[in-house]
Structure 1
Amino acid sequence: MGYVLTQEGFSDAISQLRKTYRIFAPVRKKGAGRFTDVDAILYDEVNGSEEIELHEKSDYSAKEVLTPLSETLFYFTEGVCKEADLDTRPVLLFLRSCDLQAMKRQDQIYLANGMEKDFFYQRRRELVHYVLIGCSHSFENCFCVDMKANVSEDGYAFSVDEADGMYRINVLDEGLDAVFSAAATSKEEVVPAHVTQNEVHVRVPETIPAEIMKHPLWDEYTTRCIGCGRCNFVCPTCTCFTMQDVYYSDNGRVGERRRVGSSCMVDGYSNVAGGGQYRKTQGERMRFKVLHKILDFRKRFGYDMCVGCGRCDDVCGEYISYSNIINKVADAVDAMEKEGR
C-alpha cells in the first residue's frame, strides 16, 4: 500500500513507530568529517524524523548496526561465562538499495556460510527490519547499476522518498499500514525511486582465470596503498574481524571477549602462529580483497559480493579507485583470452 505524507505526518508516523522500535538511520554530524568544517553522515539511533538524512549517501555503511566495530560477546570469570546483555527491542534500519543488498551478503557470511550460524550476529539480525530510502540519483563514485544492486523490490518493511516536503511511502509490512494510514494525506501507488544510470561504470568478467593471481597489475598497489584499511571499514560487505580478550585481573581469569572489526588490508591481519604471514605486500592484499569481491564469493554463492556503493573510492587517502581496479582486471582477462591463456 502506498501513502503520501506531509512533513508533519511523517514526523507523527516516526513518533508512533518509536513507541515500538528503535530507529537507526544516517544522521548528519556537524564538524565530524576529516576537517573541522566538514560534516560526516554516520549511522546513529534517532529520536525524531528531523534527524534522518534522506538525501546524501552516508560516509559509513549500515552494517555497523548489526556488526559494531567493537562488540562485547561475553564476560567470564573463573567459573562462569555470561553472554553480554542485548537490547531486545525491534529495530528499524533506514538504508539505500545498495546497503540493503549488502545486508544480504552479511547474512550470507554470518548465517549461511557453514554448518553453524553465528549466534551473536543472528540474535541482532532477528531484531532488525529494513526501511528502504529511495535513491533518485547517483552519487559520486557509485557503480551500483553495473553491480545489479540499484533496485530492491522486497526485503524491507516500508520505503520512503522525500521531495518538496512530501513523503511517499510504500508499505510492504501490513502491520505498519495503520501507522501510515493515520498520518497520510492520500493513498496511491508508490514505487521507490532507484538509480538507473551511474557516471562510473565497471566490467566484471564472467570468468577470471587463475593466472590473474600472478598478473603484474597488482604490483602498483604495493607502493601506492598505505594499508590504512579505510576501504574495508566503510565497505558494507566486508565482514573481517578479530577477537580481543580484555582481562580485569592479573591472573587472566576474569574479563570479557570482544569481537573487533578488522581488515584484510591492514598489516598483521594475516599473521599466523609461528611467525608466518600470508599476503605480505599491499599488492597481494589488494589482490585478495578485489578477487574476493568479484570472484571467490561468486564461486561460493552465485553472485558478486561488491554492491557498487563507491565508499571505498570516496574514503581512500591515496586516491586508489576500486572501480578502476575491476576494469583493469577485465582488461587483463581480455588480453589473456586473446593470447589463448
Structure 2
Amino acid sequence: MSTNKHLSNDAFDRVLCELGREYRLLGPRRFPGKGAHSGADVTGYGEIGSLSDLYLEGKTYFSPKECLFPVRETLFYFRDKDITPAAFDDRPTIIFLRPCDINGIKRLDTIFLHNGSEPDPYYARRRERVKFFLIECREGFDSCFCVSMDANRSDDYACACRFEGDGVRVEIKDGSFAPFFAGGEDAAAFLAFVTANKTSVQVPDLSRVDLGALFQHEIWQEYSSRCIACGRCNTSCVTCSCFTMQDVSYGRNQALGERRRVWAGCHIDGFTDMAGGHSFRAKNGDRMRFKTMHKINDFKRRFGFHMCVGCGRCDDVCPEYISFPTCIERLGRISREMTHE
C-alpha cells in the first residue's frame, strides 16, 4: 500500500542527498553550451544531486533510453584469443522520468529482454538495477500524443513526484524508500495523468489492408523528397533500439582492441548495407515507411501494443518539420480508401 508525503524543496534536497549515498540518481537535465549551435543548450538525461538540477519545464531533446542503452558501449576487450568483459557502473540507479518514457522503456525491455530465447546481457545488467521515480505529467506538451498511443499512464514506479514550486508531493509505492521520506508531512493521494493532448491521432488497423499495395503508395515518394536521413528521429526516440557492432583495433595490431555497439537507425545511411555491396531501402521514403510500419503495425502484431509512445520528440527534432502523427493520420485515410470504409 502506498503512502503520500509532502516535503519542502529543502527537505526534498536532503532526501536526494541521502538517496545519492546508495543510488546513482539520473534525471532530465539542461546542459549549457552543449547544443548543436554555439552557446546553445541541450536537454537530456544525466546525474543529478539536487532539485535545481532537474529540468522540468519541458520535454528533453534526448530520451532516458541512454541510461540503459548507451550511445556507444564497449562490450569487451580482446587480446589475441583472450576476452575481457568491459566494466560498467553497477550502482543501483534511480531514474526520474515521465509516464510516456516509462512506457518507452517497457518497449526497450520487450526488445532486449523478451525478443528471443535469451535476454541481452548488457542491457539486462543495467535494467535489473533500476528503479523509476515517476514525474507527474497532467498536461503534456504541444507535440505529445501519448493518450492516443495508450502511453499516458503507468503504474511501474517506486515513487511518484508532483513538483509544485514551493514543495514536492511524493507517493511512496515501494516501501523500501519510505524511511527516506519519513520526515515529510502526511498528504492525501494526488497522482493524476494527462487525459487529453493538444495533438491526437487515430491509429489505423492495417490488418485488412493490402500491405504490398500500401508499400508502393505514392506517400512514400513524397517522404523521399522531404526526409534528409539525418537520423535525429531515431536517436531522440525512446523506443528505437537498433545498433551496429564495431571491432576497434589499437594501432596496427589487429588482435588487440575492443568490440563496441553504437546506436544506429533505419533513417541513417549505411544501416542496411550488407556484404557484397548490397543495400536495402536506399530511398529515404522507404526508410520512413519501414519506421512507420514498425512503430504502429509490426511491433503490435508481435507483442500486443504499439511501439510508438507518442512522446513527440521526433517532431520536435526534425529539421524538415516532418510530423509523425500527421503521417499516422494520412495512413489512416489511405487504409480507409483501400478497404472502402
Q: Normalising TM by the smaller chain, what interval?
A: over 0.9
After superposition, the CA RMSD in angstroms is 1.3
Question: 2:172 maps to what in 1?
Answer: 171
Whole-angstrom distance in 2 between the partners of 1:325 and 1:169: 38
Whether 2:88 is the aligned partner of 1:86: answer: yes
Q: CA deviation at 1:114?
A: 0.6
Question: 2:202 maps to what in 1?
Answer: 203
String of CA shifts for 1:174-203, please: whole Å, max 9, x gaps.
000111122x1x212333232111111111
Q: CA deviation at 1:134?
A: 0.6
Whole-angstrom distance in 2 between the partners of 1:296 and 1:79: 40
Question: 1:112 maps to what in 2?
Answer: 114
The answer to whether the Cα contact below 8 Å between 1:161 and 1:193 also exists between their aligned partners in 2 is no
Whole-angstrom distance in 2 between the partners of 1:34 and 1:137: 28
TM-score by length of 1: 0.96
Give the % identical residues.
43
String of CA shifts for 1:91-133, please: whole Å, max 9, x gaps.
0011101100000000000000011110111111111111101
291, 294, 297: which one pairs with 1:295?
297
2:230 is paired with a residue whose SS is coil
Q: What are the ranges of 5 or more consecutive residues in structure 2 without an aligned counterpart? A: none
2:112 is paired with a residue whose SS is helix
The answer to whether the Cα contact below 8 Å between 1:168 and 1:190 also exists between their aligned partners in 2 is no
TM-score by length of 2: 0.96
Instruction: Read off the aligned partner of 2:237 and give its amino acid letter.
Output: C
Q: CA deviation at 1:49?
A: 2.4
Question: 1:133 maps to what in 2?
Answer: 135
The answer to whether the Cα contact below 8 Å between 1:97 and 1:149 also exists between their aligned partners in 2 is yes
227, 230, 242: which one pairs with 2:229?
227
250, 253, 263: which one pairs with 2:255?
253
Q: CA deviation at 1:26?
A: 0.6
Instruction: Read off the aligned partner of 1:163 and give its amino acid letter.
Output: E
Q: What are the ranges of 5 or more consecutive residues in structure 1 without an aligned counterpart? A: none
2:276 is paired with a residue whose SS is coil
Instruction: Read off the aligned partner of 1:277 and give its amino acid letter.
Output: S
Question: 2:76 maps to what in 1?
Answer: 74
Whole-angstrom distance in 2 between the partners of 1:232 and 1:192: 31
Question: 1:15 maps to what in 2?
Answer: 17
Q: 1:138 to 1:116 in 2, by over 3 A?
A: same
Whole-angstrom distance in 1 between the partners of 2:302 and 2:309: 17
Q: CA deviation at 1:37?
A: 5.1
Whole-angstrom distance in 1 between the partners of 2:269 and 2:232: 13
The answer to whether the Cα contact below 8 Å between 1:242 and 1:260 also exists between their aligned partners in 2 is yes
Question: 1:194 maps to what in 2?
Answer: 193
Q: CA deviation at 1:249?
A: 4.1
Instruction: Read off the aligned partner of 1:177 and give its amino acid letter.
Output: A
Q: CA deviation at 1:79?
A: 2.8
The answer to whether the Cα contact below 8 Å between 1:169 and 1:190 also exists between their aligned partners in 2 is no
Moved more, 32-41 or 113-122: 32-41
Whole-angstrom distance in 2 between the partners of 1:247 and 1:34: 30
Moved more, 301-310 or 43-52: 43-52
Instruction: Read off the aligned partner of 1:279 and give its amino acid letter.
Output: R
String of CA shifts for 1:267-310, please: whole Å, max 9, x gaps.
21001111111111001000000000000000110110000000
String of CA shifts for 1:239-277, please: whole Å, max 9, x gaps.
010011110142310100001000110121001111111
293, 303, 306: which one pairs with 1:304?
306
Instruction: Read off the aligned partner of 1:194 and give its amino acid letter.
Output: F
